[in-house]
Chains A and B, each alone.
Chain A
């Protein structure tokens, strides 16, 4: 039995702030930051958008792209580190808004930036075992960066939804296998009740991102007996533009491999949506038969690697919902003051 992606949908808020506008406020050198992070601007949610509304828009795009019967979706899992409620599922809001309730299961996932791919893996298990017909896995975030913190330059907003199924004729992409590499690594965290996350600075690099992405990616290729030359494209978690380029090179993937999915320079880090957004952008331009290698990373810490093979159905569904490139077009730029208002960093007395 094959398991894979039946449909996918993405959503990106229309607002952006440029790195130079944030740097101006905190007295940082924008040129050094842009060169170091390889990020020029990031998305900003509207004042009435949160991880739930973004998840709903992404899920609706996924449903309309495939035109499937929503009652077939029997599991909804939303991964986020910015769920609007501490207690009350985002996934029930999404399920109700797409009309998939009530005969279904739902839960929220949290694993920093890889909660969405963990949800994909859970859905793969459910459809493989025939416990559900279709599963909906979402990564959605309105990520937070404390004023003046390094994360403020990249913490962005966006979401991506994948509908996972097991009927070969319906799949736009077969997930050939998945492999995870997980340890207890405190590289990034947010305590209960705290508005902004904390991180271990440079500690997030080698013991966090690189150890887990390399562990998962090498593990999967070893398991499958594949090498980078077997793949047409690759996607890695994009906390900035530097890390995915470096890890791709370390694994033997070329710049061309990762080019279609590298959206971070115009989008920022959409956390749970980051790697999944890169995959959506790659699927937007993929050809039948293409193989895509993906590895998500979540602080805390773990890596989820996937080996994906695109089917000829991609050409039937691709244009039925907005592509990532279209969602990145025509942004509305805002200054730091408006950004601070949108993110609740300043409030009317």
Chain B
């Protein structure tokens, strides 16, 4: 990942910063700059998610992408945050323990790096609550 691209997403990855609409009360992650429901009547503001939520669905990765081979088997899940939005994240859990509906909380972990000489990307993953 390029340095600039990683840096642009840093704030939302570190702290689950998204947005919410003051007009309709909906929450957005990743952040939206316009409310798709309220359109021009919407009032979008920055919002820091609590980070707690539950597993909607998951998969166990045995054949990983480059750079993640040493972590197999690991769990990727869709987490529905308590405020509503869902996101895909690595779930730090024994693959035999994961289940749909599991409550999770955020932790700060290394997401990956650009080789031994490149930058290290940090951000949010989830663990059982």
Q: Do the beta carbons of A48 and B110 come within 8 Å of each other?
A: yes
**B87 adjacent to chain A (CB < 8 Å):** no
Task: Find A57's partner among B69, B108, B110 (CB 8 Å cutoff).
Answer: B108
**A347 adjacent to chain B (CB < 8 Å):** yes
Q: Do the beta carbons of B108 and A99 come within 8 Å of each other?
A: no
**B71 adjacent to chain A (CB < 8 Å):** yes
- Within 188-231 of A, Cβ neighbours of B (below 8 Å) are at none
Task: Find A347's partner among B70, B92, B109, B120 (CB 8 Å cutoff).
Answer: B70
Q: Do the beta carbons of A47 and B120 come within 8 Å of each other?
A: no
Question: Digit string of A55-97 for contact with B (CB within 8 Å is 1, else 0)?
Answer: 0110010000000000000000000000011000000010011
Chain B residues with a Cβ closer than 8 Å to the other chain, count: 18
Known: A57-B108, A97-B14. A52 touches B70 (CB 8 A): no
**B57 adjacent to chain A (CB < 8 Å):** no
Within the complex, the shortest CB–CB distance from B126 to chain A, in Å, comes to: 12
* Bound Cα distance A47, B48 (Å): 27
Q: Tell me which residues across on chain B come within 8 A of A96, comparing CB atoms.
A: 10-11, 14
> Can you name the residue of chain A whose Cβ is closest to the Cβ of B17?
A99
**A53 adjacent to chain B (CB < 8 Å):** yes
* Interface-centre pick from B10, B11, B14, B122 (highest chain A CB count, 10 A): B122
**B107 adjacent to chain A (CB < 8 Å):** yes
- Within 245-268 of A, Cβ neighbours of B (below 8 Å) are at none
* Bound Cα distance A96, B121 (Å): 13
* Interface-centre pick from B14, B92, B108, B110 (highest chain A CB count, 10 A): B108
Interface of B is mostly: strand
**A341 adjacent to chain B (CB < 8 Å):** yes
Known: A84-B120, A97-B122. A48 touches B14 (CB 8 A): no
Known: A85-B120, A347-B70, A348-B69. A49 touches B110 (CB 8 A): yes
* Bound Cα distance A347, B10 (Å): 28
**B15 adjacent to chain A (CB < 8 Å):** yes
Question: Digit string of B86-129 for contact with A (CB within 8 Å is 1, else 0)?
Answer: 00001010000000000000011111000000001010010000
**A46 adjacent to chain B (CB < 8 Å):** yes
Q: Tell me which residues across on chain A come within 8 A of B15, comparing CB atoms.
A: 97, 99
Q: Tell me which residues across on chain A come within 8 A of B71, comparing CB atoms.
A: 47-48
**A50 adjacent to chain B (CB < 8 Å):** yes
* Bound Cα distance A46, B108 (Å): 12
Question: Digit string of B1-32 for contact with A (CB within 8 Å is 1, else 0)?
Answer: 00000000011001100000000000000000
- Within 130-154 of A, Cβ neighbours of B (below 8 Å) are at none
Q: Tell me which residues across on chain A come within 8 A of B111, comparing CB atoms.
A: 48
* Bound Cα distance A129, B109 (Å): 35
Q: Tell me which residues across on chain A come within 8 A of B92, comparing CB atoms.
A: 46, 48
* Interface-centre pick from B69, B92, B109, B111 (highest chain A CB count, 10 A): B109
* Bound Cα distance A167, B92 (Å): 39
Q: Tell me which residues across on chain B come within 8 A of A341, comparing CB atoms.
A: 70
Please name 30 pairs of A and B residues whose Cβ atoms are closer than 8 Å in the assembled complex, sorted by A. A46-B92, A46-B109, A47-B70, A47-B71, A48-B90, A48-B92, A48-B110, A48-B111, A48-B125, A49-B109, A49-B110, A52-B122, A53-B110, A53-B122, A56-B108, A56-B122, A57-B107, A57-B108, A84-B120, A85-B120, A96-B10, A96-B11, A96-B14, A97-B14, A97-B108, A97-B122, A99-B15, A99-B48, A347-B70, A348-B69
Given contacts A48-B92, A347-B70, 11 further A-B contacts (CB under 8 A): A47-B71, A48-B125, A49-B110, A52-B120, A53-B108, A56-B108, A84-B120, A96-B14, A97-B14, A97-B15, A97-B122
Residues of A within 8 A of B (CB): 46-50, 52-53, 56-57, 60, 84-85, 93, 96-97, 99, 341, 347-348
